[in-house]
Amino acid sequence: MSGTGEVEFVNPYTFVPFPESPPQRCAPHGHLGHPDLLSGTLQVRVTAQTPLLVRDISRQAGDAEPRLPRRPDGTVLIPGSSWKGALRSLHETLTGSCLRIFDPDFLPTYRDAASSSPPGELRMAVVHEHAGADQPPVLQLCESGTPATHRLSQKQLESLNQGQVPLTSGARLDITFDEDGKPDTAEHNAEGAWMVLLSESRARQPSAEYRAHVRKLTSETMQVSAAGWERYLAEADDADELREQSIAQGADEHYLPVEHPHRANKPDGERVTLGRRYRVTKHLRRGQPMWVRIAGGRIISVQHGMLWRHRGGDTPSGGRIPAKFGPCRNDRELCPSCRMFGSADTEATPRGTPAADRTTEQQKAEQRSYAGHIRFGDALADGEVPELAFELAPLGSPNPGAGQFYLVNQPDAVGNVGDPPLREWGSSADRGEKPRKLRGRKKYWHTELGEERLPARGQAREHQKESQLARRAVAIPRGTELTMTISFTDLDEVQLGSLLATLQPGELLNEQVWQHIGGGRPLGFGSCTLAVDTAASAVWRSGARYGGGTDVSLDIAHFTGVFQEWVQRELPAVHETWPALTSALDPKAVDPDAVWYPPGASRATRGTKEYDDGFEFWKQTSGEQAKTKKRGPRTGHPLIPLPEATSEDQTLRYTPKANPRTVSRSQPPGVPHRPNGSNKPNGGHGR
């Protein structure tokens, strides 16, 4: 990396905190048409403030190019199902409702540190039998070896990879050794006594030669323990290769190339292909080499590399949200959003039934679902819409395991270090009275465009176009206008006010705010504004269906005011979160040109691979303790959290490959690491 100047950026997302009180749950109105309730239709005008990415629901698997979703007559549309999900998410935040889409069992995994030494003897093994992912495999063990000597050099690997078939991890070899016990010669032999294991090279130093471990096979076989296999499956879920394989078209199903930019014998930056390794999968192939840990005469873990992954403690996500914020399950006790948008009970057995008492009939779901009161029509574009075709930048899955951003970090953790790094779930930062909580509901910043047609961070750079996560995309251009109709039945005045506030949150928050629809939100897509056309809408008392109701004037200010008064009176803790939501929806809250995922160099290098490599930032903010010394202060990378959504300054600053104490939130510098083991922060975080 060239230079060590300070890097500044604004993270693409923030969080609206959970209210301190649980969702208000009660019985819904039902669908009996009480005459005093409100029904009607709302006509809504949609204006795209940035390009919109909407999946084409009619696209066939064999289609070569993406298309905008259209009706048979060619009219561009945004499906009503997309609106229901996006608007419900905002309504849940406005009303402090339950987390409808939430995995309470999620636990992140982390790469093992080079200094860590998990329990058990580490051995190389090869897959002997594996019927499928639902049961542990049987492996054939290798003899113990010495990592310092039982390795092939990069030159030897290049020589073995010269044939028509690439050198494959697990290949059998004949090997002779020199007087120092190091491999002297290595040749292919399908019946050879030695086996080579090739692993990914990304974590290896480019300036160092790649070496591959070899071990001698034995005749001993052993099955992985049930707990060990369950742990492997959970750890494999976090491997990018599983997601990449599901996205890639025509990629090799089983193998990935092993490439390494060793600079000693090749031009700077040129990658040398040394062979191929097995992809991370849940169904292992016969002959595939793995590393295993053996303790008590059984395999307690199986992994692809000597350094693999470990789970983040034993408190999953369900233990990191406020009490009673999980999804509604009882149709007589629903939160505000479930009372309006509906609720589905997806549990396989009745709640509270002991496992030992469950019968075959009890395995069937108990029907506790509730039909919603709102129907969303498709948003139809006005006139012809030109398609914006481009190459979309790679977009991975969210990483809640980044505890410096996703978890509420207390003052005694901020600016400090530990082992394992404080960012990890289950680290010492979690060992107080209660584990750290999730920060809240994730929201992406809205970023205005200047003269550009597409957001810069949303377009694949040259070095990204070969990524299997990059793909062709087509967007609805900024400025496009669409119209949709929303119908509702049997709402009270507070509920109608909450619906109108969800459609036009500026009426409630007294700000010019935007909303999101569709995909690509982390990359600057999907911002829009909605406006209810009162003249084209109609509201009536539900009794009108039976001849006894009257039309009602659609006074948006009146109904949103009724809703706001109700929240202030009944849900004061929810009302306290509205300033954070206002900031998250405000397109002027941040400098749009500064919003980027953590870069690895100054903005002057934007567009390069160097700029898009944010590894150094995550390392420098992780709360990782360096190797301890008998005397002197603790050193490492102090834990640096994400700013609060209401902070005026959202800028994060750090100096790549420099003293980690230079990481800061804003100027003056943020909380530095305190020497001599002190766990007290050193004051100001900036604004």
- pLDDT tens profile 39-94: 999 999 999 999 999 987 665 555 667 899 999 999 999 999 999 999 999 999 99
pLDDT at residue number 145: 86
Q: What is the pLDDT of residues 622-659, one digit of tens each?
A: 999 886 665 665 678 999 999 999 999 999 999 887 44
Locate 49 and state its tokens: 């403030």
Are β-strands 183-188 and 172-177 bridged in parallel, bridged antiparallel, or unpaired? antiparallel
At residue 94, the pLDDT reads 98
* Inside any domain, residue 261: yes
Question: Can you give the pLDDT at residue 466?
Answer: 77
DSSP symbol at 167: P
Q: What would the 3-class secondary structure string for 8-65 be?
A: EEECCEEEECCCCCCCCCECCCCCCCCCCCEEEEEEEEEEECCCEECCCCCCCCCCCC
Question: Among 230-239, 294-303, 392-401, where is mean pLDDT lowest?
Answer: 230-239
DSSP summary character for residue 463 = G
In angstroms, the CA 352 to CA 571 distance is: 29
What is the domain extent for residue 127?
117-309
* Confidence check: pLDDT of 193 > 60: yes
Return the pLDDT at 178. Answer: 93
Residue 178: enclosing H or E segment and its boundaries? none
**Cα(334)–Cα(328) distance, integer angstroms:** 6
The answer to whether residue 589 is domain-embedded is no
For residue 351, name the pLDDT band (cuts at 50, 70, 90): very low
Given this model, what pLDDT does residue 680 score?
31
Token pair 């399950």 in the structure block, residue: 329
- pLDDT for residue 116 is more than 80: no
Comparing 78-87, 123-132, 349-358, the range with the smallest average pLDDT is 349-358
CA atoms within 13 A on the CB side of 471: 19
For residue 215, what pLDDT band results from cuts at 50, 70 and 90?
Answer: very high
The reported pLDDT for the residue numbered 667 is: 35
403 has a pLDDT exceeding 50: yes
SS3 474: strand
Contacts of 122-125 with CB under 8 Å at 24 or more apart are 122/291, 122/292, 122/293, 122/306, 123/215, 123/291, 123/292, 123/293, 123/294, 124/195, 124/197, 124/213, 124/215, 124/289, 124/290, 124/291, 124/292, 125/222, 125/289, 125/290, 125/291, 125/292, 125/299, 125/302
More confident position, 313 or 358: 313
Q: Map residue 650 onto helix, strand or coil.
A: coil
Q: Which of 222-226, 490-494, 527-531, 672-676 has the lowest mean pLDDT?
A: 672-676
The pLDDT of residue 241: 63
**What is the overall mean pLDDT for the chain?**
86
Q: Is the peptide bond before 420 cis (omega within 30 degrees of 0)?
A: yes
Cis before residue 638, ω within 30 degrees of 0? no
pLDDT of residue 306: 82
Between CA 598 and CA 653 the distance in angstroms is 10
Percent of the chain with pLDDT over 90: 63
DSSP-assigned letter for residue 418: B
Residue 633: its pLDDT value, please?
A: 59
In the numeric block, the tokens 């075959």 are attached to 360
Q: What is the 3-state secondary structure (H, E, C) of 366-416?
A: CCCCECCCEEECCEEECCCCCCEEEEECCCCCCCCCCHHHHECCCCCCCCC
Q: What phi and psi values does residue 77 have, to the nearest 5 degrees?
A: -140, 160
- Residues pairing with 125 in the sheet: 141, 290
Return the higher-pLDDT residue of 111 and 534: 534
CB-count exposure of residue 547 (10 Å: 0-12, 13-18, 19+):
exposed
**In-domain check, residue 201:** yes
Handedness of CA 258, 259, 263, 264 (dihedral sign): positive
Dist CA 582 CA 505 (whole Å): 9
Lowest mean pLDDT among 43-57, 393-407, 535-549: 535-549
Backbone angles phi, psi at 536, to 5 degrees: -95, 0
Residue 262 pLDDT more than 70?
A: no
- The answer as to whether 57 is a domain residue is no
Q: Is the residue at 233 inside a domain?
A: yes
Per the CB < 8 A criterion, the answer to whether 12 and 596 are in contact is yes
The span from the CA of 204 to the CA of 519, in Å, is 34
- Work out the average pLDDT over 522-527: 96
Task: Give which of 348, 345, 337 is closest to 92, Cα–Cα.
Answer: 337
pLDDT at 570 over 80: yes
Query: Confidence class of residue 397 from pLDDT cuts 50, 70 and 90?
Result: confident
Question: Is 251 part of any domain?
Answer: yes
Q: How many domains does the structure of the chain reveal?
A: 1
CB of 28 closer than 8 Å to CB of 370: yes
Q: Is residue 635 part of a domain?
A: no
- Domain assignment of residue 161, yes or no: yes
Region 558-577: mean pLDDT is 97
As a whole number of Å, the CA-based R_g of the chain is: 29
Q: Rounded distance, CA 233 to CA 2, Å?
A: 39
Q: What is the pLDDT of residue 113?
A: 74
Which tens digit of pLDDT belongs to each residue from 471-486?
A: 899 999 999 999 999 9
Rounded to the nearest 10 degrees, how much is the dihedral formed by the CA atoms of 393, 397, 401, 403?
50
pLDDT of 670 reads 33
The letter for the amino acid at 313 is G
| pLDDT average, residue stretch 588-611 | 93
Looking at residue 530, its pLDDT comes to 98
> pTM for this structure?
0.80
Name the range with the highest mean pLDDT among 260-264, 284-288, 657-661. Answer: 284-288
For 420-455, write each residue's pLDDT tens digit: 999 999 999 998 778 999 999 999 999 999 889 999
Q: In a 3-state reduction of DSSP, which class is residue 591?
A: coil
Q: Is the pLDDT of residue 463 over 80?
A: yes
Residue 634 pLDDT: 60
